[in-house]
């Protein structure tokens, strides 16, 4: 609705080496050919429903609502998807597309490991080779996911360059793609990178808001007042927002990782602290120094620990359609524990950023208001790290 040749306002574009240009052009052509193809969509929906356990539930969090004493809170349960996060929506779509394009090998970057596990899963399902790039620091933070990817038959390549986190994993995956393009599809995990990735990933994640809308109309007979989701690159957020963008009365709220605070250097809150730049194939907001060197960002959440944000979010921010708030490590960890106890749902530390904001917002709204929070993933993977954060050393 907003894009002209891969642009969202001034954001987006294709800032990549010439070596990759024909690859992204080929991808765009294939996507345009298949996106409205009934057979492709039938196959994809069948995978969503039969394999990934869609549609995901829209759950009325009654205890949370009562305890907070304000707006009615619904949770969009992407954590109940196969592989435990929203990432599978995108991976199934891209892998199916890659197969139609005759590709036999998938490569991917991963931060928390959720996208890596989802890519490894679909690669196993579709009989494709798979290589996942993961920052060395993240491999330590998320050792269980590394094991899962290998169990699923993928190779996991430790990335030691730069800060050894998500940003460096993206850079290494891009470098690998320039080495080998003929049989390889880069299964990018978020709404970022060069066109057409931000559009493709958004379209595959838009199932989230399509379902929220239908489920909310069915349960409440009206649209929600606010939709809240966490934002790293921004794929679960854009998926949660997309079908509400035209509904001006629905507030769209993205929750960035403030790390130790947006007034510190240990933050990953791109929209709140970054400025316009060009990196990883796109024009968007980035955390950077005065000379355009990309900043080493920090968040307790490996999945939000990224110095940029998807171009469509940058645009929604520019036009004031979506709000972007910053949530600290402390607030996210509190929400992680709070929601676990209040609802018996252990949310991913990424999703806990969205829940933390809901916890602040709900009491300020009247009881006739409705907010939806996307629980983008489950928190099992985070338990050891949160225990450590609380000073308890447990082995997995």
Q: Is 20 in the site for other proteins (CB under 8 A)?
A: yes
218 catalytic residue (yes or no): no
Site for other proteins in 181-240 (CB under 8 A): 181
> Which residue stretch of 133-141, 171-179, 211-219, 222-230 sits at the interface with other proteins (rule: CB under 8 A)?
171-179
Nearer to other proteins, 28 or 343 (CB): 28
88 binds other proteins (CB under 8 A): no
- Helical pair 197-205 and 207-220, crossing angle rounded to 10 deg: 30
Q: 154 vs 165, which CB is nearer to other proteins?
A: 165
Write down the least CB distance from residue 172 to other proteins, Å: 9
Q: Is the Cβ–Cβ distance between 20 and 178 less than 8 Å?
A: yes
DSSP bridge partners of 252? 227, 322
Smallest separation, CB 261 to other proteins (Å): 23
Q: In this chain, which of 2, 9, 15, 101 binds other proteins, going by CB under 8 A?
A: 15
Note whether 238 and 199 are within 8 A (CB): no
Residue where the block lists tokens 């490569």: 107
Q: Does 14 bind other proteins (CB under 8 A)?
A: yes
Toward other proteins, which CB reaches closer, 309 or 370? Answer: 309
Q: Smaller CB distance to other proteins: residue 107 or 294?
A: 294
Going by C-alpha positions, the residue among 165, 90, 154, 88 that lies closest to residue 123 is 154
Min dist CB 384 to other proteins, Å, is 29
* Cα dihedral 23, 95, 311, 164 sign: negative
Backbone φ and ψ for 110, nearest 5 degrees, come out as -150, 150
Structure-token match 């949530």, residue found: 327
* Element (DSSP H or E) covering residue 277: strand 275-279
Q: Is residue 4 near other proteins by the rule CB under 8 A?
A: no
* Residues 6 or more apart whose Cβ sits within 8 Å of residue 248: none
Binding mask 263-282 for other proteins (x = CB under 8 A): ------------xxxxxxx-
Which one is catalytic: 3, 28, 78, 109? Answer: 109
SS3 state of residue 38: helix
> Taken in order 300, 230, 350, 369, is the CA torsion positive or negative?
positive
Min separation Cβ 290 and other proteins, Å: 8
Distance CA 66, CA 51 (A): 35
For the bound state, the minimum distance from the C-beta of residue 279 to other proteins, rounded and expressed in Å, comes to: 5
# residues near other proteins by CB under 8 A: 37
Q: In this chain, which of 175, 210, 341, 388 binds other proteins, going by CB under 8 A?
A: 175
Residue 376 is among the residues annotated as catalytic for this protein? yes
The nearer residue to other proteins, 204 or 306, going by C-beta atoms, is: 306
The answer to whether residue 101 forms part of the interface with other proteins (CB under 8 A) is: no
> How near is the Cβ of 193 to other proteins at its closest, in Å?
11
**Interface pick for other proteins out of 8, 13, 84, 306 (rule CB under 8 A):** 13
The SS3 of residue 99 is helix
CA distance 170 to 306: 10
Q: What's the CA gap between 152 and 58, in Å, rounded?
A: 30
Between β-strands 184-186 and 226-230, what pairing exists: parallel, antiparallel or unpaired?
Answer: unpaired
From 153, 234, 143, select the one nearest 188 (Cα to Cα): 234
Active site residue 351: no
Bridge partners of 324?
Answer: 254
C-alpha span between 159 and 228 (Å, rounded): 32
Q: Which of 288, 328, 351, 374 binds other proteins (CB under 8 A)?
A: 288
- Convert residues 139-168 into a mask of x (bound to other proteins by CB under 8 A) and - (unbound): ----------------------xx----xx
Using CB under 8 A, pick the residue from 178, 206, 245, 261 that binds other proteins: 178
Q: Active-site residue among 76, 87, 283, 381? A: 87
Pick the closest to residue 12 from 267, 381, 315, 270 (CA basis). Answer: 315
Cβ-based neighbours of 82, under 8 Å, separated by 6 or more: 51, 52, 53, 88, 121
Minimum distance from residue 109 beta carbon to other proteins (Å): 12
> Which of 197, 286, 298, 336 touches other proteins by CB under 8 A?
286
168 vs 343 by CB, closer to other proteins: 168
Residues near other proteins, by CB under 8 A: 13-23, 161-162, 167-168, 171, 174-175, 178-181, 275-281, 283, 286, 288, 290-294
Provide the annotated active-site residues: 87, 109, 376
């Amino acid at each position: 609705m907003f894009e002209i040749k891969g642009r969202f306002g001034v954001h987006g574009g294709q800032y990549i080496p010439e070596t990759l240009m024909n690859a992204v052009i080929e991808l765009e052509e294939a996507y345009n050919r298949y996106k409205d193809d009934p057979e492709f969509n039938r196959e994809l929906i069948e995978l969503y429903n039969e394999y990934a356990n869609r549609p995901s539930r829209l759950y009325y969090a009654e205890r949370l609502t009562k305890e907070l004493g304000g707006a009615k809170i619904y949770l969009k349960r992407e954590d109940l998807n196969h592989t435990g996060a929203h990432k599978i929506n995108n991976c199934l779509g891209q892998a199916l597309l890659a197969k139609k394009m005759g590709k036999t090998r998938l490569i991917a970057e991963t931060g928390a490991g959720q996208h890596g596990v989802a890519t490894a899963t679909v690669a196993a399902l579709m009989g494709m080779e798979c290589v996942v790039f993961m920052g060395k620091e993240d491999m330590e933070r998320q050792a269980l996911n590394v094991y899962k990817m290998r169990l699923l038959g993928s190779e996991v390549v430790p990335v030691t360059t730069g800060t050894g986190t998500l940003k460096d994993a993206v850079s290494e995956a891009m470098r690998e793609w320039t080495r080998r393009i003929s049989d390889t599809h880069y299964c990018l995990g978020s709404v970022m990178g060069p066109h057409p990735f931000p559009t493709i990933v958004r379209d595959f994640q838009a199932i989230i808001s399509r379902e929220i809308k239908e489920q909310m109309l069915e349960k409440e007979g009206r649209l929600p007042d606010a939709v809240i989701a966490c934002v790293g690159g921004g794929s679960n957020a854009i998926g949660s927002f997309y079908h509400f963008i035209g509904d001006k009365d629905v507030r769209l709220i993205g929750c960035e990782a403030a790390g130790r605070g947006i007034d510190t250097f240990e933050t990953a809150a791109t929209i709140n602290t970054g400025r316009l730049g060009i990196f990883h194939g796109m024009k968007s907001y980035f955390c950077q120094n005065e000379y355009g060197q990309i900043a080493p960002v920090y968040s307790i959440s490996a999945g939000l620990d990224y110095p940029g944000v998807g171009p469509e979010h940058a645009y929604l921010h520019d036009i004031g359609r979506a709000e972007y708030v910053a949530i600290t490590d402390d607030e996210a960890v509190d929400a992680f524990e709070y929601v676990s106890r209040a609802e018996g749902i252990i949310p991913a530390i990424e999703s806990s950023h969205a829940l933390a904001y809901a916890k602040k917002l709900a009491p300020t709204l009247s009881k006739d208001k409705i907010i939806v929070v996307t629980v983008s993933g489950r928190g099992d993977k985070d338990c050891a790290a949160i225990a450590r954060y609380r000073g308890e050393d447990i082995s997995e």
